[in-house]
Amino acid sequence: MPLAAWAGALPAAIPSPSQGVWHLGPLPLRAYALCILAGIVAATLLTQRRWAARGGKPEQVLDIAFWAVPFGIVGGRLYHVVSSPDAYFGPGGDPWRAFAIWEGGLGIWGAIALGAVGAWIGCRRAGVRLPPFADALAPGLLVAQAVGRLGNWFNQELFGGPTTLPWGLRIDDAHLPAGYDSGTLFHPTFLYELLWNLAAAVVLVVVDRRRRLGHGRVFWLYVALYTAGRFWIELLRIDAAETVLGQRLNVWVAALVCLGALVAFALVGRRHPDRDTEVLRPAPGQPQDREHDPEQDVQQDVEQHVEQDPGAAVPATGTQAGQAAGSADGPLGSR
């Protein structure tokens, strides 16, 4: 088939799914929830492989996810409700819909913030250090967010402004925003973010493999890459949102968080340029991040020897021997 004919056979727009809910008897299966679940599964599988490569145990990922996932969902919903209150508490709003997570509406900023709290709790309970675990998790988070964006496609929500591009998104009249004619095509921001997140996940894996990043630097790079994409994608969206100084709130949040993540990435890199050597938390009573000191080990052996045999001669440590030699040499020995 000639290229022109093949191109002409392609659809001139991206169609929206005909439905986003299926029923198994009285049980509704919502595409939005299924996409989130699929994203969580994908992130878990990828994180298990990366965590094992860093020296952890794959089952620890499930233990931590048990805390991080519920915290992240609650945090995402809280941020969405707080940043878009009119739909729930404004004129004609229904406060009870704030609990209807299956209808869509999870703010990523709240999900990351409260999800991090859940991950911290899970890491402490599993005896795992948070920074290396966050580094193992970062690419999986991007994959989960990419898969989750398909839920917006099924719900026909959170799309961008009108466009004449061949990949414009067709929206059913029932979901068409006020003021737009039937058949208007819109920027498929769900697709833009999906592709951006997948590309960013590949970047994280490649950079981490070549530069051996650690101590949370992969996670901070994830935050920087995601928010950079979210910044320009947010500028395309036309759904109702709170504004600050004429711009959507999420535009400002993305810019500030991106800058903060870049600063954190640089500061941590100056202090810890190499990858973590330990992924487990120290046992109770064991000091954290203590530099190994052979001199101190010798001194401990000496003290133990004296306790066992007080009358025995005490062997000199390296420092003590050096001091004794210097005293015996006198002025000539220091030349």
Count of beta carbons in the 10 Å neighbourhood of residue 25: 5
Annotated binding site: which residue ranges?
Answer: 149
Count of beta carbons in the 10 Å neighbourhood of residue 238: 17
* Token output for 3: 């290229």
Residue 47: name the closest of 288, 282, 289, 279 by CA: 279
The torsion angle over the Cα atoms of residues 133, 137, 139 and 142, rounded to 10 degrees, is -140
Contact 136, 56 (CB under 8 A): yes
Q: Is 18 exposed, middle or buried (0-12, 13-18, 19+ CB in 10 A)?
A: exposed
Q: Hunting for tokens 């004129």 — which residue is that?
A: 91
Rg (CA), the chain: 28
